[in-house]
A and B are shown apart, each in its own frame.
Chain A
């Protein structure tokens, strides 16, 4: 086994990203879809920090990751508000049953 390098982190983030995609695509519950999105964002963040560390970019990667976390917080708040509204309208939060976009 070689020494831990950049690729190791990238592989972990790739797997995490794919898991996130899986959750977003397959799960019925809107909240689980949100969790998938959080996983995707985390995967991206790992990439940022890893590139920042191994690519000798100083701290710019970490700053970006920080901004992503802030965005994730804002997004989670808004998304949950929307989920609550959907729940009020359709009295469930299963995204596969909500196909108003079709009309």
Chain B
């Protein structure tokens, strides 16, 4: 009984924002107060999400609630052989938590935007777009099959495009929207191909059904290599959406959108959709695919962190830090730390949207100034924003007592254990370096913005603390960045309810030989050899990780704790040394390390590289082809033309006298006929009718049946 209620709640939650979008887009211009409808809808959604979360985590803690129906039935078409497309909803623990996160942040952003977007001429359209975003994000979260995910995936991409380019009068904004859309499309093509491979193999889009069939040993094209390829292809969708290297270039540009949108979409929820998808397909990733995922995540995380060190735009620092943190999550999926990846996704959603809303608050009070070199000393003017920033920055730097510490430390420990077990030391190395850099650039941001003396007195004078609707979300999100929501023990997240009870790493379904050794339970493998043929390998997959892995994780815990704390502290200390106490002059240091500094400031020249290779390559190729056309093809054509002209001269003589004579004769005859027929064109309708009647008469006489 309750489970149907939960399904109904989630479907209502899904459809209400879409309804709000429809109303707002149609009537928004006429009724300027209509945006309250969207806020009302979101508060209903939030209440429903809380109900779903609590019910799921108490009554149905270990059971998934699923519901699906036949959407399109092709069974009456003989060629398609009883082919049905099913749509469905599946609520498991991570879905319930994600629903709460999405609804909460969306609600807070809606409230926040009341003030931030005040006076915008397209105020209601903004809320309509937020509505369609919420709709599609909830759609991704609750769907139980790849087709629905893909549909909502594209809808999310669309709403992101609409909101990045919301101020489309600015060329940079509309360009950024296009860039985001196109870059995402590259990833989505891979995802679509992956989905289609799965569909041709398993004849279904449903996750559960696909995973079940994989666990029974059915593979795409009967090869484990194809399973790896499929996993990577679907992961490509996540690479695009979560802004992973090499498709990360759109996210920093996406900061052209309104800041609340950056908080909602480009830091907390939409970009998390990629991680969510990776978690969904986690169980079908082979060891090779996971290694690819882990490397992509680690490289992205490192690359983004190095870029964030030197950026001066407050939103760009946060954007690169988002890319970096998303890289952490993706890496965490790749090294098998499923639960920590999701944990970090949730904690990051809270503290990163907090940081963005905080920066929005700063930007708002500084009259849309985003350059940190123009800020400074805002601590006294904006105490609430400052406090929120401090809490979130501590969380993202992984300082104890915050939520970020719990999740980040888990990922780092997981990477250390992974390195220990497989010999891939790249992930832990990059992971810890990133931890150092994260702490540094976050505190660089805080010191440049809030400490010291104001650099731009005029703007400083005008700055003021933002009103309640803008500070309230900051307070709520700051509270959610504290550890006690997730566990009682601030240093050991494994014992808390979040990881101990709610989110558990599911068992792989891939064939045993394609998994990492540590993901196979040794004694279970032996039984599987005995059971081969009768039960298949399905039995084994109910046991997750081996004892070995648990030991390694346990071993890695203390060193990673010490190491990450040291590095985090070091980062903060460095930031204070350089920017607060000015022991080291940042400009001099930049001069000394000029190549490195420029490399970072210019974002590793990746945009330039793309411009030179892909865009320039296309242009160059077309130039090459045009040269080929000019000399080779044209030469041929000209040669032919010469001969043609020669022949033409000869034939001209023939033409002039013989052919022309005939043609002129014909023309003369036609003219003669035309002159006489022309009289028939009187322009009078009745004459035409007479012709029709006569034609009928002639036809009757020609085909007379008598």
Residue among A25, A95, A102, A103 with the highest chain B CB neighbour number at 10 A: A25
**Residue in B682, B689, B693 whose beta carbon sits within 8 Å of that of A99 in the complex:** B682
Tell me if A101 and B693 are in contact (CB < 8 A): no
Tell me if B690 and A95 are in contact (CB < 8 A): no
The interface residues of chain B, by DSSP majority, are classed as: helix
Interface residues of A in 48-103 (CB under 8 A from B): 95-96, 98-103
Q: Please give the number of chain B residues whose Cβ is less than 8 angstroms from any Cβ of chain A in the complex.
A: 9
A96 touching B683 in the complex, CB below 8 Å, given contacts A21-B693, A25-B690: no
Q: CB of B686 within 8 A of chain A? A: yes
Q: What sequence of 0s and 1s flags, for each residue 655-695 of chain B, a beta carbon within 8 Å of any chain A beta carbon? A: 00000000000000000000000000111111001100100
Tell me if A95 and B683 are in contact (CB < 8 A): no
**Residue in A25, A98, A100, A103 whose beta carbon sits within 8 Å of that of B689 in the complex:** A25
* Residues of chain B lying within 8 A (CB to CB) of residue A21: 689, 693
Interface residues of A in 1-24 (CB under 8 A from B): 21, 24
**What separation, in Å, do the CA atoms of A12 and B689 have in the docked complex?**
22
Tell me if A99 and B690 are in contact (CB < 8 A): no
**What separation, in Å, do the CA atoms of A103 and B683 have in the docked complex?**
8
**What separation, in Å, do the CA atoms of A25 and B689 have in the docked complex?**
7
**What separation, in Å, do the CA atoms of A95 and B683 have in the docked complex?**
10
* Residues of chain A lying within 8 A (CB to CB) of residue B681: 102
Tell me if B686 and A24 are in contact (CB < 8 A): yes
* Residues of chain A lying within 8 A (CB to CB) of residue B683: 99-103
Shortest distance between the CB of B694 and any CB in chain A (Å): 10
**Residue in A95, A100, A102, A103 whose beta carbon sits within 8 Å of that of B686 in the complex:** A95
A96 — nearest CB in chain B belongs to which residue?
Answer: B684
Shortest distance between the CB of A39 and any CB in chain B (Å): 14
* Residues of chain B lying within 8 A (CB to CB) of residue A95: 684-686
* Residues of chain B lying within 8 A (CB to CB) of residue A102: 681-683
Tell me if A25 and B686 are in contact (CB < 8 A): yes
**What separation, in Å, do the CA atoms of A101 and B681 have in the docked complex?**
9
* Residues of chain A lying within 8 A (CB to CB) of residue B690: 25
Tell me if A99 and B684 are in contact (CB < 8 A): yes
**What separation, in Å, do the CA atoms of A24 and B688 have in the docked complex?**
11
* Residues of chain A lying within 8 A (CB to CB) of residue B686: 24-26, 33, 95-96
**What separation, in Å, do the CA atoms of A99 and B682 have in the docked complex?**
7
* Residues of chain A lying within 8 A (CB to CB) of residue B693: 21, 25
Shortest distance between the CB of B685 and any CB in chain A (Å): 6
**What separation, in Å, do the CA atoms of A102 and B685 have in the docked complex?**
10
A97 — nearest CB in chain B belongs to which residue?
Answer: B684
A100 — nearest CB in chain B belongs to which residue?
Answer: B683
**What separation, in Å, do the CA atoms of A93 and B689 have in the docked complex?**
18
Q: What sequence of 0s and 1s flags, for each residue 100-138 of chain B, a beta carbon within 8 Å of any chain A beta carbon? A: 000000000000000000000000000000000000000
A101 — nearest CB in chain B belongs to which residue?
Answer: B683
Shortest distance between the CB of B700 and any CB in chain A (Å): 12
Shortest distance between the CB of B697 and any CB in chain A (Å): 10
Shortest distance between the CB of B234 and any CB in chain A (Å): 56
Tell me if B682 and A24 are in contact (CB < 8 A): no
Shortest distance between the CB of B674 and any CB in chain A (Å): 15
* Residues of chain B lying within 8 A (CB to CB) of residue A33: 686
Tell me if B689 and A24 are in contact (CB < 8 A): yes
* Residues of chain A lying within 8 A (CB to CB) of residue B685: 95, 98, 101
Q: What sequence of 0s and 1s flags, for each residue 229-254 of chain B, a beta carbon within 8 Å of any chain A beta carbon? A: 00000000000000000000000000
Shortest distance between the CB of B58 and any CB in chain A (Å): 66
**What separation, in Å, do the CA atoms of A30 and B21 have in the docked complex?**
55
**What separation, in Å, do the CA atoms of A94 and B55 have in the docked complex?**
83
**What separation, in Å, do the CA atoms of A77 and B684 have in the docked complex?**
22
**What separation, in Å, do the CA atoms of A28 and B185 have in the docked complex?**
67
Shortest distance between the CB of A64 and any CB in chain B (Å): 21
* Residues of chain B lying within 8 A (CB to CB) of residue A25: 686, 689-690, 693
* Residues of chain A lying within 8 A (CB to CB) of residue B684: 95-96, 98-99, 101
* Residues of chain B lying within 8 A (CB to CB) of residue A96: 684, 686
**What separation, in Å, do the CA atoms of A96 and B683 have in the docked complex?**
9
B693 — nearest CB in chain A belongs to which residue?
Answer: A21
* Residues of chain B lying within 8 A (CB to CB) of residue A26: 686
Shortest distance between the CB of B663 and any CB in chain A (Å): 30
Shortest distance between the CB of A7 and any CB in chain B (Å): 13
Interface residues of B in 539-580 (CB under 8 A from A): none
* Residues of chain B lying within 8 A (CB to CB) of residue A100: 683
Shortest distance between the CB of A90 and any CB in chain B (Å): 13
**What separation, in Å, do the CA atoms of A24 and B690 have in the docked complex?**
9
* Residues of chain B lying within 8 A (CB to CB) of residue A103: 683
**What separation, in Å, do the CA atoms of A14 and B57 have in the docked complex?**
85
**What separation, in Å, do the CA atoms of A101 and B685 have in the docked complex?**
8
Shortest distance between the CB of A61 and any CB in chain B (Å): 20
Shortest distance between the CB of B303 and any CB in chain A (Å): 71
**What separation, in Å, do the CA atoms of A6 and B685 have in the docked complex?**
34
B690 — nearest CB in chain A belongs to which residue?
Answer: A25
**What separation, in Å, do the CA atoms of A33 and B689 have in the docked complex?**
11
**What separation, in Å, do the CA atoms of A101 and B693 have in the docked complex?**
19
**What separation, in Å, do the CA atoms of A26 and B682 have in the docked complex?**
15
Shortest distance between the CB of B250 and any CB in chain A (Å): 56
**What separation, in Å, do the CA atoms of A98 and B684 have in the docked complex?**
7
Q: What sequence of 0s and 1s flags, for each residue 27-43 of chain A, a beta carbon within 8 Å of any chain B beta carbon? A: 00000010000000000
B685 — nearest CB in chain A belongs to which residue?
Answer: A95
B684 — nearest CB in chain A belongs to which residue?
Answer: A99
Shortest distance between the CB of B77 and any CB in chain A (Å): 32
**What separation, in Å, do the CA atoms of A102 and B683 have in the docked complex?**
4
Shortest distance between the CB of A35 and any CB in chain B (Å): 14
* Residues of chain B lying within 8 A (CB to CB) of residue A24: 686, 689
A27 — nearest CB in chain B belongs to which residue?
Answer: B686
* Residues of chain A lying within 8 A (CB to CB) of residue B689: 21, 24-25
**What separation, in Å, do the CA atoms of A98 and B690 have in the docked complex?**
16
B683 — nearest CB in chain A belongs to which residue?
Answer: A102
**What separation, in Å, do the CA atoms of A21 and B682 have in the docked complex?**
19
Shortest distance between the CB of A13 and any CB in chain B (Å): 15
* Residues of chain B lying within 8 A (CB to CB) of residue A101: 683-685
* Residues of chain B lying within 8 A (CB to CB) of residue A98: 684-685
**What separation, in Å, do the CA atoms of A63 and B470 have in the docked complex?**
71
**What separation, in Å, do the CA atoms of A101 and B689 have in the docked complex?**
14
* Sample of 9 more A-B contacts, CB < 8 Å, known A33-B686, A101-B683: A21-B689, A24-B686, A26-B686, A95-B684, A95-B685, A100-B683, A101-B684, A101-B685, A102-B681
Provide a sorted-by-A list of 24 A–B residue pairs whose CB atoms are within 8 angstroms. A21-B689, A21-B693, A24-B686, A24-B689, A25-B686, A25-B689, A25-B693, A26-B686, A33-B686, A95-B685, A95-B686, A96-B684, A96-B686, A98-B684, A98-B685, A99-B682, A99-B683, A100-B683, A101-B683, A101-B684, A101-B685, A102-B681, A102-B683, A103-B683
Residues of B within 8 A of A (CB): 681-686, 689-690, 693
Closest 8 CB pairs of A and B: A102-B683, A99-B683, A101-B683, A99-B684, A25-B690, A25-B686, A24-B689, A95-B685
